[in-house]
Amino acid sequence: MIDEIFTRDFISREQAIKEAMQLVTDLTNYAAVVLGSTSYNAKIKKLQFVSLTENHAVLLLVTDKGYVESKKIMIPEEISTRDIERVITVLNDLLHDTPIAKIDETINAHLRESGLRQFVEYYNTLISAFVRIFTEMVQDKYFLSGQSNIMNLPEFQNIDKVKEFVNAIENQEILKAISVAEDGLTVRIGAENFIKAMKDCTVITVPYEIANGERGAIAVIGPTRMDYQKIIPLLEYIAKNIKRVM
């Protein structure tokens, strides 16, 4: 069935990937995510903080792809504008030339020595805002299918867990669970996922490369008890075939 999709005449790469991942959700009853090549390859060039009022400000983001985006934020009363400016300065240095797909990895690797630990709570708010901006600023936004399958799992029969998962989708925080490694397959099981809504899930991510060398990623989200021996070869086979589509 996968071969039929990728050998079909006049099918676009985007459509082939979406159909293949929809097939994965049908075969597994799990959820699937596609992160497009523009999203994956864009790198942060500059972050800037502009104070508007005592409690409101704007974050500006510039990427190497030429995108300039802004996000209005509210400043918590317990945090001063000066403190936020310090955080942005640290993030600006830390994230310069960092691919969007590796923001969480970079931050978590340098959190202790970067001086951000005292701002962890507010930093999480900033990163959540950044993730939403990143997915909105690119033309090939991420594709998600089969999310209702997750809600039918025994692990998600608790209404609070369902709400958390739905919020993670709506806020696009689910992208923080997609970890793309240069050397291929990444598997995050349970607590290895960064967001609370994914603590009962496994996320398997496989990068793909297209003819011009740009890269994207495909992923499956399912329970920690999933059949890894079936899911991993399936994703790797799809990733290998993506390059065949012009």
CA 62 to chain CA centroid, Å, is 18
Report the DSSP pairing between strands 186-189 and 201-209.
Answer: antiparallel
Cβ atoms of 21 and 166 within 8 Å: the answer is no
Order of strands across the sheet that contains 201-209? 143-145, 31-35, 215-223, 201-209, 186-189
Please give the full DSSP string across 155-171, using - where no structure is assigned: GG-SHHHHHHHHHHHHT
Can you tell me the distance from the alpha carbon of 85 to that of 57, in angstroms, rounded to the nearest whole number? 11
CATH class for the domain made up of 43-137: alpha beta
Instruction: Give the model's pLDDT for residue 10.
Output: 78
Q: Which neighbouring-strand residues pair with 223?
A: 201
Instruction: Give the model's pLDDT for residue 220.
Output: 92
Tens of pLDDT along the chain (246 residues)?
888 888 888 778 778 888 888 999 998 889 998 877 655 567 888 888 888 887 888 878 787 766 677 777 777 777 777 777 877 888 888 888 887 667 767 777 776 665 566 555 666 665 565 556 555 554 445 788 888 888 888 888 888 888 888 888 777 677 777 766 666 888 999 888 877 888 888 999 998 887 666 778 889 999 999 999 999 999 999 988 887 775
Q: Boundaries of CATH 3.30.450.40 in the chain?
A: 2-40+140-242
Give me 122's structure tokens: 């507010």
Q: Boundaries of CATH 3.30.390.60 in the chain?
A: 43-137
The secondary element (H helix, E strand) that includes residue 241 is helix 228-242
DSSP reduced 3-state for 197: helix
Q: Which of 232, 212, 134, 217 is CA-nearest to residue 182? A: 217
For the domain spanning 2-40+140-242, the CATH number is 3.30.450.40
Instruction: Give the model's pLDDT for residue 204.
Output: 92
pTM of the model: 0.64
Cβ atoms of 204 and 235 within 8 Å: the answer is yes
